Amino acid sequence: MKVIICGAGQVGYGIARQLAAENNDVTVIDRSAQLVQSISDTLDVRAIVGHGAHPDVLEKAGAQDADMIIAVTFYDEVNMTACQVAHSLFRVPTKIARIRSQSYLEPGFQDLFSQENMAIDVIISPELEVGRAVLRRLAVPGAFDILIFAEGKVQVVGVTVEEDCPIINTPLRQLTDLFPDLKARVVGISRKGKLFVPRSDDQMLVGDEVYFVADVRDVRRTLGIFGHEEQEARRIVILGAGNIGLYVARQLELNQPGTRVKVIERDHDRAIFAADQLKRTIVLQGDGLDPDLLEEVGIADTEALVALTNDDQANILACVLGKRDGCSRTMSLINNQTYMPLMRPLGIDAFINPRATTVSNVLQHVRRGRIRGLQSVHDGDAEVIEAEALETSTLVGKPLREVDLPEGILVGSISRDGEIIIPRGDTEILAGDHVVLFARSDQVKKVERMFRVSLEFF
C-alpha cells in the first residue's frame, strides 16, 4: 500500500513507524527540515520538506498513485485542505484527517465532511478519543488500560499483578478449571518490558502487566480474581481545563450526577470559560502543583486525580504529590514516551498516551480484510483486532486446536448472535462470527490474511 502522511510530529511518526515496519510504501511530508531529517534517519520511509496541502508537494510525494493520505499536522485547516487537494487533483481513494477543534465536529455541521463538500473519509479527533479513554479507566478502577469491542459487549483489560493476587504462579490452563463459568481469557503478558502471547502452561508473576479479554458482565469479577476490587471514584480532581479536561468533566456531569468533580486550571481566562461551561463542577484557578491549592481541593480525600494538562512533567509531578498527600488513585496524560517507564516506579496507577490512541484509530482504517475494530497496546508491540470471519477464512469450520495459528496470535473471544463465547480447544468459529484476537505486531499481517475476502490470499 502506498501511503502519504502529512505531519512528522509524534502522531505522524508513530503511524509511519508502524506502516513502514509492515513494508508499506510510506512518504512523510512536513515543513520542519529537522523533523524530516529525524524521520529519515530512523525509519525506512521517504521524507519530504514542504507544505502538505500544496499540490506540487503532494505530486512530488506521489499522490497521483497513492492509496491513502493521512493528514495529521497540528493544524486542522492544513489537514482538511490536504485531503481536499488529494481528492480533487489526484483522486486519492482514502483520505484521513486529524481534527482537533470541536467546532468542526458539532453534530449540526456533519455535512461539511461529505463527498459533495469536503471529501474526507475518516475524521480522527484526538481529544475526544483520549477523553473517552480517561472515562473508561475511571469506570473500571484497578485497570491501567480498557479497550471496547463487539459493540460494547467485550472488553480487553490491562491489569498489574500485585503480590496479593491469588492466582500468581498458577498455569493459565488451570484457571479454566478453577473458574469454569468465567467468561475471560488471558491473552497477553508484559514481563520486564517484554510483551508475549502466553501458552496454556505459562504462569503470571508479581509485577507482570496482564491483558485479558472478558465478557463485559464478567470484567469486575475477573478484576477481583486478580486481587483488584477498587471501587469507582466518586470524588475526582481534574488538573487542566483544556479540551480533554473539559470533555471529561462534562461527561461526568451528564452520566454520573453523584460524582463530585473539581477542576484546577492555571490560565485565568480558560478557568472562567470552563466555569461557564460546567454546571455542578467546581473550577479553581491556580497551579496544580501548589500544596495549598491541593489541600484546598481536599486531595487527601480524593479518590482519583486525573492530570490532563499539556505539560507531561506537571502531570507526573501532580500525580506524585497527590499520591503523597493521600489521593487513592492517579492518572496522567503523557505525550513523551520516554517518561512511560517511570509511571510504575513513581506510583502512578494509569497513563494515557494520545499518540498511541490516535495511531490505533488510523490503523483501523489502514488494515485490510473485514476488520471491525483495532487498538494498539503496549506502545505498538501488539494489536487487539476485531474481525468478521468469512467462509474463506482458515479459522472457520474446525476446532481451534486443529487451526495452525502462528505463535504470537491468540483468539480471545467470539461474538455470535449477541452471545459472547470465550473459546476453548474444541470451539469452532463460524462464518459471520466477530472474533477478537490479540496479536503481536509482527503477526498482524497474518491476521489480515485470515480475514480477507478473496480466496487468492489463502
Q: What's the total number of domains in the chain?
A: 4
**339, part of any domain:** no
Distance CA 204, CA 214 (A): 17
**345, part of any domain:** no
Question: How is residue 418 annotated by DSSP?
Answer: T
| 236 within 8 A of 303, measured Cβ to Cβ | yes
What are the tens digits of pLDDT across the range 54-75? 999 999 999 999 999 999 999 9
**425, part of any domain:** yes
Per the structure block, which three cell numbers stand in for 247?
Answer: 470533555
115 and 135 part of one domain? no
What are the tens digits of pLDDT across the range 404-432? 888 899 999 999 998 999 999 899 999 99
Distance CA 368, CA 358 (A): 18
Over range 139-166, report the average pLDDT. Answer: 91
| 302 within 8 A of 322, measured Cβ to Cβ | yes
Least confident of 72-76, 314-318, 445-449: 445-449
Q: What is the pLDDT of residue 59?
A: 97
Over range 303-322, report the average pLDDT. Answer: 96
361 and 441 part of one domain? yes
30 and 120 part of one domain? yes
Residue 77: other Cβ atoms inside 10 A: 12
Which of 205, 225, 245 corresponds to the end of one domain?
225
**347, part of any domain:** no
Query: Please, which contacts does 313-318 make with residues 24 or more away whose CB atoms are closer than 8 Å?
Result: 314/239, 314/288, 314/289, 315/239, 315/240, 316/342, 316/346, 316/348, 317/289, 318/239, 318/288, 318/289
Strands (E) in 266-310, as ranges, are: 282-285, 304-307
Q: How far is CA 417 from CA 158, 430, 431, in A?
A: 27, 11, 12
pTM tops 0.85, yes or no: no
What is the distance between the terminal CA atoms of the chain, rounded to a whole angstrom? 19
| 187 within 8 A of 213, measured Cβ to Cβ | yes
Distance of CA 157 to the CA centre of its chain: 12
41 and 137 part of one domain? no
9 and 68 part of one domain? yes
Name the band, by pLDDT with cuts 50, 70 and 90, for residue 453.
Answer: low
Over range 10-15, report the average pLDDT. Answer: 88
219 and 171 part of one domain? yes
Distance CA 236, CA 138 (A): 9
250 and 189 part of one domain? no
Sign of torsion, CA 253 257 263 268?
Answer: positive
90 and 135 part of one domain? no
Question: How is residue 217 annotated by DSSP?
Answer: G
Which of 124, 144, 176 corresponds to the end of one domain?
124
For residue 207, the domain's CATH number is: 3.30.70.1450
**349, part of any domain:** no
Residue 292: other Cβ atoms inside 10 A: 8
**196, part of any domain:** yes
Name the band, by pLDDT with cuts 50, 70 and 90, for residue 368.
Answer: low
Q: Could you tell me which residues come within 8 angstroms of residue 133 by beta carbon, excluding any fewer than 6 positions away? A: 146, 352, 357
321 and 209 part of one domain? no
For residue 105, the domain's CATH number is: 3.40.50.720
Which of 69, 97, 124 corresponds to the end of one domain?
124
**388, part of any domain:** yes
- Indicate if the pLDDT at residue 262 is higher than 90: yes
**346, part of any domain:** no
Distance CA 335, CA 325 (A): 25
134 and 213 part of one domain? yes
205 and 95 part of one domain? no
Q: What is the pLDDT of residue 393?
A: 83
* Cell 483544556, residue located: 242
Q: How far is CA 272 from CA 126, 262, 327, 338, in A?
A: 24, 14, 26, 34
Distance of CA 269 to the CA centre of its chain: 31
Domain membership of residue 362 as a residue range = 357-457
What are the tens digits of pLDDT across the range 172-193? 999 888 999 999 999 999 998 8
143 and 187 part of one domain? yes
